[in-house]
Amino acid sequence: MKPFFEPGKTVIVSGIQSSGTLHIGNYFGAIRQHIALQQTHPSYYFIVNYHAMTTVQDAEQMKAHTLDAAITYLSLGFDPDKSNLFVQSDVPLLNELTWIFFCLTPVSHLEKSVAYKDKVAQGLSASCGLFNYPVLQAADILIYGGTLVPVGADQKQHIEMTRDIAQRFNNRFGELFPIPDAYIVESVATVPGVDSRKMSKSYGNTIGIFEEKASLTRRVRRIVTDSTPLEAPKDPDKDNVFALIRLFATPEKEAELREAYLRGGYGYGHAKQELIRLMLDYFETARERRRELLKNPDYVHDVLRQGAANARAVAGECMERVRELTGLITTYT
Ligand code: ADP
């Protein structure tokens, strides 16, 4: 059987939800790696609006978040000449593969999903969509022949499920899918939110990438710290503010602030001010680019259209092989 991808070639695949403003957890856990990897490998990055529907059920919000996610990627350095950025629902064939994968996935595997249990515990509605989320994700990765999936640590279990589904398909119907690996940068595997839980759109504890100074200040003030008095020495490795500072600071700045923490006389209020300065500085160029892109939505749509056309071509080839292997005959041309 002719593969629909080039054997041995690394193909990067990853998605980002359009369920709200993208935050610094998304950036350090995923987007930064996406942008770095596209320099050296063919990549497919998509805004997962089907997945987002598990929480966003308002058309205007869905459209706004989708466009905002695309603008965010482009502002942060995504290069549409090097790889593909598109909207998940622009490849409807995905739903066909998802169905086939449903038929191969034991319910008991999905019941073990930590992300699902977590989201339900946080009050999200336990819909079929939320429960089956990892199966759609497997189709998302495998339909483009993805071999490497840059994600945050929270997604590790889902990538394991994707590997399991690919193996099940290959064993049952014949070798077709490469078995993908997760690519997790351990130093930023989980970025904490302002309440010290994992930063997540679903928990309302995020700090947006492009937060304006006033709202950034409000968000940063909310970061939970312990009650060590200003003059006392503090352990930087047990503090949330420092965990975020580390992401933005140069090694020299990080060392300087670490020393200030350990010495004492340096309060969490000071650290929060430093974090705000570092963050505004870090995203300054991207912020400028974002202002330009907001004035040019046609360009953003063109990028998404081209990315989707490329993605549909690969997905189409994949599904031809899948139909042959599974005996789902097509009686029309
Ligand atoms: P959210 O939990 O905010 O809805 P998504 O599910 O859209 O985020 O995740 C998009 C990408 O960002 C995934 O690769 C995920 O692993 C990563 N990510 C999300 N939150 C964090 C975090 N707090 N730390 C590190 N990576 C994260």
Residue pLDDT, tens place only, 163-187: 999 999 999 999 999 999 999 988 8
Q: Indicate if the pLDDT at residue 200 is higher than 70.
A: yes
Gap from CA of 51 to ligand 1 centroid (Å): 13
Ligand 1: nearest atom to the Cα of 151 = 14
Q: What is the DSSP letter of 208?
A: B
What does the pLDDT look like over 87-106, one tens digit per residue?
999 999 999 999 999 999 99
Q: In the numeric block, which tokens belong to residue 107?
A: 């319910």
Q: Residue 222: phi, psi to the nearest 5?
A: -80, -10
DSSP state of 229: -
Lining ligand 1 with CB less than 6 A are 16-17, 19, 25-26, 29-30, 151-152, 154-155, 190-191, 198-202
Residue 37 sits at the vertex; the CA angle it makes with 241 and 309, to the nearest 5 degrees, is 120
pTM of the model: 0.92
225-283 pLDDT tens trace: 999 999 999 999 999 999 999 999 999 999 999 999 999 999 999 999 999 999 999 99
Percent of the chain surpassing pLDDT 90: 87
Q: What is the pLDDT of residue 147?
A: 97
CA–CA gap between residue 41 and residue 148 (Å, rounded)? 10
Atom of ligand 1 minimally distant from the CA of 200: 3
Q: What is the pLDDT of residues 59-75, one digit of tens each?
A: 999 999 999 999 999 99
- Nearest-angstrom CA–CA distance, 271 and 273: 5
Q: b/e for 182-202, b at 16 or more Cβ within 10 A?
A: bbbbeebebbbbbeeebbbbb
- What pLDDT is stored for residue 179 in this prediction? 97
Q: Name the pairing type of β-strands 148-150 and 181-183.
A: parallel
User: pLDDT value at position 123?
Assistant: 87
- Residue 2: pLDDT band with limits 50, 70, 90: low
- Active-site residue list: 119, 198, 201
Q: What is the pLDDT of residue 39?
A: 87
C-beta neighbour count of 123 within 10 angstroms = 7
